[in-house]
Amino acid sequence: MSDKLTYKDSGVDVHAGYETVKLIKDYVKKTHTDGVVSDIGGFGGLFSIDKDKYEEPVLVSGTDGVGTKLMIAFKTDIHDTIGEDAVAMCVNDVICQGAKPLFFLDYIATGKLDPKKAANIVKGVANGCIKAKAALIGGETAEMPGLYQEGEYDIAGFCVGIVDKKKIIDGSKIVEGDILIGIPSSGIHSNGYSLVRKIFFEHKNYDVNEYINELGCTLGEALMVPTRIYPELILGLIDKFEIKGISNITGGGFYENIPRMFPEGISADIDTKNINVHPIFKLMEKEGNVDIDEMYSTFNMGIGMVLAVDKNISSKVMDYLESKGEKAVIIGNTVNRKGSIKICHR
């Protein structure tokens, strides 16, 4: 027997990597837009910007992962939506500045590469890119034995968008009396899962395959609903109305994210009476005995995006959203006040 070591002996199988690339090629090609000028497999992804469409093009970038939602994916063995989450977490941030997502890259790291599982993850990334109308132009799949437990992986993404300098949405035009409009989320999205796991699996010992009447599905299925992707809807709004500010309700819930779009000296009064709170949040509040303010400082509670608009056009914006099938709600208004937003719970 030979005593010569190979890379495979250390736990890294390069052939599994080659197989993964073969399996994902078709998914990647489906995301390609007119700006893509490179194919999968190169050392860098190339994208051409149509400068004639922009007077002063500004690139807007964002990067993120999906946090401990991955641990629910491991429990449920659902992996085809986790890539979609990774895309959403990035493009939903970029759109807050009014930028159109151009392209996306992903990074997947695992202890032992399973080509079929990796392809399933990338399938989700591709589906997310298609929804965001962003091209998947590159990525990396890293096999790192000893760092990850068997069956575990991590995923992160990076997105670049573009906006004309004069059309950047930075919240500077927000004044007292502007109306805040909430656009529904699809569920928990990809934030707060450390508390989710604490409630359901440590505090209450739920099984992911347990059917929950209030949810109309198993707990695992409810927890794995992919993060909603908003760019197409938001870009349509921006084309028709002056949207003064946009807030993506991610980690930190209402209390942290809504103020991020406000200029100095502006805060908000929020009334939750119109919010259609998802059943999953009601279940967590009950089962974890979680204070309502803690819920609104951790989760989106059913509102994925918040828009700030002038009160004179708020009804027109609401009509437009209704015409798009959105059940948007007015959640409050801006005020001249320093400090935290105030939320009235009814």
The reported pLDDT for the residue numbered 19 is 81
Return the half-sphere exposure (C-beta side, CA atoms, 13 A cut-off) of residue 311: 8
**Residue closest to 153 by CA, chosen among 183, 192, 125:** 125
Homologous superfamily of 8-167: PurM-like, N-terminal domain (3.30.1330.10)
What sign does the dihedral 188-193-86-112 (CA atoms) show? negative
The reported pLDDT for the residue numbered 5 is 65
The reported pLDDT for the residue numbered 327 is 97
The reported pLDDT for the residue numbered 44 is 85
| The model scores a pTM over 0.75 | yes
CA distance 163 to 204: 47
Q: Give the residue extent of every domain in the chain.
A: 8-167, 179-344
Q: Cβ contacts of residue 202 below 8 Å, gap of 6+?
A: none
Q: How many CB atoms lie within 10 A of CB 93?
A: 20
How many residues are given for the chain? 346
Q: Which tokens go with 41?
A: 């497999």
179-344 CATH pick, 3.30.70.1140, 3.30.950.10, 2.40.128.130, 3.90.650.10: 3.90.650.10
The reported pLDDT for the residue numbered 278 is 95
Q: Which tokens go with 59?
A: 């690139």
The reported pLDDT for the residue numbered 2 is 55
Q: What is the pLDDT along the chain (346 residues), one digit of tens a residue?
A: 457 766 676 677 777 777 887 777 887 788 888 888 877 777 888 889 888 889 999 999 999 999 999 999 999 999 999 999 999 999 999 999 999 999 999 999 999 988 899 999 999 999 999 999 999 999 999 999 989 988 899 999 999 999 999 999 999 999 999 999 999 999 999 999 999 999 999 999 999 999 999 999 999 999 999 999 999 999 999 999 999 999 999 999 999 999 999 999 999 999 999 999 999 999 999 999 999 999 999 999 999 999 999 999 999 999 999 999 999 999 999 999 998 999 998 7
The reported pLDDT for the residue numbered 9 is 66
